[in-house]
Amino acid sequence: MCGVVGILLKTGNAVPDVIEGLSRLEYRGYDSAGVLTINNQNFQKVRAVGKLESLKNELRSAPLSGAIAIGHTRWATHGGVTIDNAHPHESGRVAIVHNGIIENHRYLKKLVQDQGYQCTTDTDTEVIAHLIDYYLRLGNEHHIAVQKTLNQLEGTFSIVAVFKDRPSLMIGARHGSPLAFSVSEHGSFIASDAIALSLWSNHVCYLEDKDMIIIDDHKVVVLDEHGQPIERPFKNISHLNLHSDKLGYSHYMLKEIFEQPQVVHDTFSSLLNDDESDIKLDARLESILMSAKRIKIVACGTSYYAGLLCQYWMEAYGHMGVDVEIASEFRYRQPYLGDTDLAILISQSGETIDTLASLDLLKSQNIPTLGIVNVLESSLMRRSDFYIQTLAGTEVSVASTKAFSAQITVLLALVFKKIEPSDRELKIKKFLNIPKHMNCVLDQFDDIMKLCNPLIQSKDVIYMARGMNTPIAFEGALKLKELSYINAQGYPAGELKHGPIALIDESLYAVVIAPSNDCLPKTLSNVQEILARGGKVILVTDHHSKIDSINPYPQHIYRLPDCDAIFQPFLTVMIMQMLAFGVANLKGQDVDQPRNLAKSVTVE
């Protein structure tokens, strides 16, 4: 889950460009970073633990310069967060940066040690450098040495390698982890994704799996998995959404929370026909969806919770069976797919490795696949049979907010498509008002922040709901965990007595989402059970629920603006996001880049 950059310039210093590229890739990992260049046939490198800012500080006191440079921003998999483990790693004539995991690194380590190499880091990466150097020493051409090394690696990876004896040669390779390149009049550029490459060109070429790219004195050759030269198409990326600034907000997350009404409006509008009476889809996708009896949704994390919500919606309103699967389980559990008519894969980044592996599995069984994806030209977008783009724009904060709202907007549109046309038109009309209701919730930001104070002392928080707010309770718990490092768990409220009730004492807080519906009395009983045992409750309900008679009374009550029950998750999720933001902010945590996380999970 690291970011790699390699640059070969015709003239000038590539190091500042590498750093700029890394800043676009920091979402992939930010525990350490490094850059390396070649001068007088010597490697020179600077590495630093911490965010890219630390590397920039180091470079201020020890500047680097060179026409060729590689850089890395790390999310540690093997070996702690130390300078020694930070990339680039070098051995003899070669230096590399690597994203991914080398699963057979222990075996390879023994192999290179037997050849006299000393392994000085705890990483799985170091063996790649030693192996390439080993094959160079045997007299192989540089690209052959790299190819022979790649043949021995198991796992998923992308690498960029440079050589001190050939300072105008840069070799990249992709095996599972994404890698793309671009060329301009100034030089040649390789990076983990297009968002970095867009700094230098509007046209990028995505390498296919097992491709190798050789940039030799600015001549570019791509070799396919059989070592044969191959032309890969260039894509125009001028329309890519680039990082915007915080626009006056204290944090990207806060900005992204506040962007949600617009995002929902834009995403939904992009799916409407001209007179806004129907949902427009690709004709072939529409025909598959309309005749489908059972769909499978596969995703991870927040995107998985979007899928769970779709299950409630689709089964209740679209009258179709929906199974929702966690991608990392789905891909390995030999799923039965005999009754699946359509598979939907949901991903903000479009690069989540387990979701992509699930896509491959589904495609191998000839199941039509629809990717719901935010990042344009991502692997999921390119590899799904159909895709719908969520128009959330670039989500910078590692914790997902607006991407979730955009995902559930697309999913709701698919549900609308499955309901009777007369009802569909009415629901579309009503949904067009939802951004207004979302703004009403945002207007109460200060009130919601007041609810955060009591939560910061908690060691455990449980989130509960019934029905279609249950996935929102799960999402609320995930957000709190990610941002504030408080242990939080989401439960269907009916599960309380089946175990979680044992957790309740005076130190426990419960966030309960219970709008007025048939289940309200049951959820209020759960609230009473928590309060009776000394636990404290933040109750999220609406103006119609009769709760005056309950005793003891919840410590905090938030009342939602009125809207149809089917649309409530758009409002309740924002309250969950704001709570998590507020608690983390009060605790002084790094809201936009929480510890140990990365925005794009490209390793298992």
Contact window for ligand M6R (CB under 6 A) among 194-202, 295-303, 494-502, 544-552: 295-303
Based on CB atoms, which residue is closest to ligand M6R, 281 or 601? 601
Is residue 303 classed as helix, strand or coil in its secondary structure? helix
CA distance 578 to 132: 49
Q: Which of 182, 188, 192, 302 binds ligand M6R (CB under 6 A)?
A: 302
Contact window for ligand M6R (CB under 6 A) among 192-200, 384-392, 396-404, 536-544: 396-404
Q: Report 582-601 residues binding ligand M6R (CB under 6 A).
A: 597, 601
What is the total residue count of the chain?
604
Does 369 engage in binding with ligand M6R (CB under 6 A)?
A: no
DSSP codes of every residue in 309-365? HHHHHIIIII--EEEEEEHHHHTTS----TT-SEEEEEESSS--HHHHHHHHHHHHT
CA distance 144 to 68: 21
Give the nearest distance from C-beta 235 to ligand M6R in angstroms. Answer: 20
Based on CB atoms, which residue is closest to ligand M6R, 6 or 301? 301
Q: Which of 121, 389, 400, 572 binds ligand M6R (CB under 6 A)?
A: 400
CA distance 356 to 350: 8
Give the nearest distance from C-beta 399 to ligand M6R in angstroms. Answer: 4
Based on CB atoms, which residue is closest to ligand M6R, 96 or 101? 101
Is residue 495 classed as helix, strand or coil in its secondary structure? helix
Does 389 engage in binding with ligand M6R (CB under 6 A)?
A: no
Does 484 engage in binding with ligand M6R (CB under 6 A)?
A: no
Does 182 engage in binding with ligand M6R (CB under 6 A)?
A: no
Beta-sheet strand order (sheet of 89-91): 89-91, 94-102, 155-163, 166-175, 212-216, 219-223
- Cα–Cα–Cα angle for 155, 161, 166, rounded to 5 degrees: 155
Cα-to-chain-centroid distance, residue 262: 21
Residue whose CB is nearest to ligand M6R in the complex, by number: 301
Q: Which of 300, 322, 343, 511 binds ligand M6R (CB under 6 A)?
A: 300
Contact window for ligand M6R (CB under 6 A) among 9-17, 57-65, 288-296, 398-406: 398-406
- Cα–Cα–Cα angle for 161, 165, 168, rounded to 5 degrees: 60
Give yes or no for a contact between 472 and 513, defined as CB atoms under 8 angstroms apart: yes
Does 352 engage in binding with ligand M6R (CB under 6 A)?
A: yes
Does 325 engage in binding with ligand M6R (CB under 6 A)?
A: no
Give the nearest distance from C-beta 381 to ligand M6R in angstroms. Answer: 12
Does 267 engage in binding with ligand M6R (CB under 6 A)?
A: no
Beta bridge partners of 203: 236
Give the nearest distance from C-beta 481 to ligand M6R in angstroms. Answer: 10
Give the nearest distance from C-beta 421 to ligand M6R in angstroms. Answer: 32
Does 147 engage in binding with ligand M6R (CB under 6 A)?
A: no
CA distance 29 to 196: 14
Identify the burial level of 241 via C-beta atoms within 10 angstroms of its C-beta, where 0-12 means exposed, 13-18 middle and 19 or more buried: middle
Q: Which of 45, 255, 479, 599 is catalytic?
A: 599
State the Cα torsion 352-402-263-205 to the nearest 10°. -30
CA distance 332 to 326: 11
Q: Which of 71, 172, 176, 301 binds ligand M6R (CB under 6 A)?
A: 301
Does 347 engage in binding with ligand M6R (CB under 6 A)?
A: yes
Does 306 engage in binding with ligand M6R (CB under 6 A)?
A: no
- Cα–Cα–Cα angle for 65, 70, 72, rounded to 5 degrees: 120
Does 285 engage in binding with ligand M6R (CB under 6 A)?
A: no
Give the nearest distance from C-beta 373 to ligand M6R in angstroms. Answer: 8
Neighbours of 522 (CB within 10 A): 12
Based on CB atoms, which residue is closest to ligand M6R, 90 or 482? 482
**Is 546 marked active-site?**
no
**Is 563 marked active-site?**
no
CA distance 221 to 232: 10
Q: Which of 2, 205, 310, 563 is catalytic?
A: 2
Does 482 engage in binding with ligand M6R (CB under 6 A)?
A: yes
Based on CB atoms, which residue is closest to ligand M6R, 71 or 301? 301
Between the alpha carbon of residue 415 and those of residues 259, 295, 311, 315, 445, the distances in Å are 24, 12, 10, 9, 30
Does 469 engage in binding with ligand M6R (CB under 6 A)?
A: no
Residue 370 identity: L
Does 254 engage in binding with ligand M6R (CB under 6 A)?
A: no
Binding site for ligand M6R (CB under 6 A): 300-303, 347-349, 352, 355, 398-400, 482, 597, 601
As annotated, the active-site residues are 2, 599
